[in-house]
Structure 1
């Protein structure tokens, strides 16, 4: 008898940070959008604007890399005064993920997932003690494309992808905008037969 596998619900996640690694540096914003659902019958995209989450977070250390902070355009002094407490924001995020994925296994997807997942997972464990994605529930869109395109990973960049795969939305470095944009990329990649 075959074991029944839960469907996967894919969450496109984008974070902005003020440095290269969590701990010494801070995740300063978190955006997420439900990209789609996959079960034994295939992948079904969702409207990426239908289910979204966004928070700006208070920095957790005094250290930051000015060039990294400049990418997001966020004001560090404002975040220190008005940003969400990380423990509160990450608990709200975990609750939201569970709320929108009943009966499905949540999977984080990112472009590239390695950077966003590092911050997201570290923050989830540090501030909530658990991850709704488990310890390995992430999928890297860059790797997905490289595999389907039969290219070495280092040869992959959004600029080298076929135009029909890319979202028409701009990449703004606002975490929610970029999560929505990348949710569209993910759905296009899931539907793409590859080369």
Structure 2
């Protein structure tokens, strides 16, 4: 237990640590509806967002370790409102989208290879939506299951709420403090948004606890 000891922050990558460490991957998904199964995940992005060994947070010098894929829909159902937000051409994806079994297995392999001896942890803002989709797709389609096991997730929204002494209901994206906002744009492209989110995560992880 750190007992209020300041968090050590290093820009770089962790050495092999005998006690192990968590390796964080910022995730964003774009879908054609609210839940997986009846609806489809059309794209997702994963970005290496740092590592933590219990005492030191290793912040990446750049957000260049990234995975992105656009998927073939798995059902006929979709909501036009969802497509209007993400701008993806669902009809075109029926022809050129990646096979989910191939895409999810490749994504799981990429996460495990990038994490090395570390334990992969999915990061999102908020976690619930992206986790629901990715976990369902990994368990349904990946030949190796979920690289994040059944529960290794980090909710940036909850972390920010705790550090600022805010209610969860008052911690939406529109209320992110300027000091922890990202320099990357939010475009509703899954890879762009996962990159933006990775920087927000690092900023929140490293910030001091402040009560507004």
Normalised to the residue count of structure 1, the TM-score between the two structures is: 0.95
- Ranked by relative contact order (alpha carbons within 8 Å, sequence separation 6 or more), the top structure is 1
1:15 is matched with 29
* Equivalent runs, 1:18-167 vs 2, <5 Å: 18-128=32-142, 130-167=145-182
Where in structure 2 are there 5+ consecutive unaligned residues? 1-17
Aligned 8 A contact 1:35 1:45 in 2: yes
Q: Which structure 1 residue ranges, 5 or more long, are not aligned?
A: none
Q: Aligned residue for 2:204?
A: 189
Instruction: Please report the TM-score for the alignment, with normalisation by the length of structure 2.
Output: 0.88
Q: Deviations along 1:160-194, whole A, 9 cap, x unmatched?
A: 22201000211100000000000000000011112
Q: Equivalents in 1 of 2:137, 2:31: separation in Å?
A: 12
Contact 2:49 2:63 in 1 (8 A): no
Structure-2 separation of matches of 1:159 and 1:167? 13
Mapped partners of 1:62, 1:123: distance in 2: 17
Tell me how far apart the structure 1 counterparts of residues 198 and 26 of structure 2 sit (CA, whole Å): 5
Out of 21-30 and 162-171, give the one that drifted further.
162-171
1:53-95 C-alpha deviation (Å, 9 max, x unpaired): 0000000000000001111101011100000010000000001
DSSP-derived class of the 2:133 partner: helix
When the two structures are aligned, how many residues end up with a matched partner?
Answer: 192
For 2:62 and 2:83, locate their aligned partners in 1 and report how far apart those are by CA, in whole Å. Answer: 26
Cα distance per residue 1:122-171 (max 9 Å; x no partner): 00000025111000011111011011111110011222222010002111
User: 1:48, CA displacement in angstroms?
Assistant: 4.7
The CA RMSD measured in Å over matched residues stands at 1.1
1:85-133 deviation line (CA, Å, top 9, x unaligned): 1000000000100111111000000011100000000000000251110
Greater than 3 Å deviation, 4+ residue runs: none
